[in-house]
Amino acid sequence: MAASEFELIRRYFEQTRFPQRPDVILGIGDDGALLEAPPGQTLAVTVDMLVAGVHFPLDADPEAVGHKALAVNLSDLAAMGAVPAWVTLAIALPEPDEPWLQRFSRGFYALAERFQVQLVGGDTTRGPLTISIQAHGFVPASEALRRDGAHPGDIICVTGTLGDAGLALAATQGRMAIPDDRESYLHDRLHRPSPRIPQGIDLRGLASSAIDVSDGLAQDLSHILERSRAGARLYVERLPYSAAFSACCQDIETAIRLAIGSGDDYELCFTVPPKHRERLFALAERWDCRCTEIGVIESEPGLRCRRDDGTTYRFARGGYDHFA
């Protein structure tokens, strides 16, 4: 007999073998959770929805779906400079597919454990496969990384490398070819993004603005520009690429197009006043990813992409827009 809704929740989501946070007074199992934020900290809250067939293919590896569903939320907290603490999970399933749930929850919990995040509640219903996660983190309000603080003269930087996820997606759609020895690295960059939590925390009090790159660098940077009522010059020939990306994308034009126009990288794009440049790169020495300066904020609105010889780079299409 198929398990009941409550049995599914108990089996796959109420996992007491994972670290239980002391600030969770009451977790899964009641009508609501009771949570206690530390004094002096502000709650940062974010929610994201993943729909099968839109955000991931119906036959996607459930473990990767569990990882990514949580990772995209933690990435938003990273972009706020917040330390993640609690998450809730609402899930609609076409049927009580236990092998699927088992693998999904394995991917979810492995990442939750890495960042000491506790699942404190949720909802489980029948319906087209949809996952919505809400994540809560802590950050002192005065140090939170917002989109509206960039000033002319601030340098624009990015963590890690760009374009890997876009390249991996293009490969699964048959638009690009990836050699076998690069496949697993690029596949993981698309399906198992690593939220830049420690980087976001380091950027507190240092970055004047930040955003996570989920829809493509050009589009996401434009959000900072709009919010900050500023413009930017982006050096398209100084974007950071992984070794795997460079090996697959020897054509520089394709590389730039993927790096600024494709989404899913989940890196942080942020601005820093030039007086903090040295401090930033000293901090970035101990990061597990690169930190690259890719442009500068200007007072004239708009995003201007420049090649190193000073000429303008024109790109055809922006990032992903669900309603475009």
Residues at the contact surface with Mg ion, assessed by CB under 5 A: 123
Nearer to ligand ADP, 84 or 122 (CB): 122
The partner in contact with residue 9, picked from Mg ion, ligand ADP, none with C-beta cut-offs of 5 to 8 angstroms by kind, is: ligand ADP
Nearest 5°: the CA angle 138, 140, 142 is: 145
- Among the listed ranges 25-33, 92-100, 247-255, 298-306, the one in contact with ligand ADP (CB under 6 A) is 25-33
For the CB of residue 18, give the shortest distance to Mg ion in the complex, in Å: 21
Q: How far is CA 6 from the centre of its chain?
A: 31
Helix, strand, coil proportions of the chain in percent (round to 5)? 35, 25, 40
Give the strand pairing for 118-126 and 155-159: unpaired
Smallest separation (angstroms) from ligand ADP to the CB of 86: 11
Q: Please give the single-letter amino acid code of residue 54.
A: V
- Beta-bridge partner residues of 119: 87
Neighbours of 300 (CB within 10 A): 10
Stretch that binds ligand ADP, among 117-125, 231-239, 253-261, 290-298 (CB under 6 A): 117-125
**Residue 28 near ligand ADP by CB under 6 A:** yes
Q: Do the beta carbons of residue 84 and residue 134 sit within 8 Å? A: no
Question: Across 94-176, where does the E strand assignment appear?
Answer: 118-126, 130-139, 155-159
Helix extents (H) in 158-270:
164-172, 180-191, 197-202, 217-228, 243-248, 252-261
Task: Pick the stretch among 122-130, 138-146, 209-217, 246-254 that binds ligand ADP (CB under 6 A).
Answer: 122-130
Told to check if 89 binds ligand ADP by CB under 6 A, we report yes
Q: For residue 256, what are its two tokens?
A: 């730039």
Stretch that binds ligand ADP, among 119-127, 135-143, 155-163, 248-256 (CB under 6 A): 119-127
Please report how close the Cβ of residue 11 comes to Mg ion at its closest, in angstroms: 17
Q: Which residue from 16, 17, 30, 314 is in contact with ligand ADP, where contact means CB under 6 A?
A: 30
Shortest distance (Å) from residue 85 CB to ligand ADP: 15
Exposure pattern of 225-243 as b/e (b: 16+ CB <10 Å)? beebebbbbbbbeebbbbe
Candidate list 84, 121, 137, 216; residue touching ligand ADP; CB under 6 A: 121
Binding window for ligand ADP (CB under 6 A); candidates: 29-37, 53-61, 154-162, 304-312: 29-37
User: Which of ligand ADP, Mg ion, none interacts with 321 (beta carbon under 5 to 8 A by kind)?
Assistant: none
Give the Cα separation of 23 and 118 in Å (integer): 10
Residues that bind ligand ADP (rule: CB under 6 A) add up to a total of 13
- From first CA to last CA, the distance across the chain in angstroms is 44
Nearer to Mg ion, 5 or 321 (CB): 5
Q: Which does 89 bind (CB under 5 to 8 A by kind): ligand ADP, Mg ion, none?
A: ligand ADP
Among 107, 122, 216, 295, binds ligand ADP (CB under 6 A): 122
Report if residue 13 touches ligand ADP, rule: CB under 6 A: yes
User: What tokens does 169 get?
Assistant: 């997606």
**Positions in the binding site for ligand ADP (CB under 6 A):** 9, 13, 28-31, 89, 91, 119, 121-124
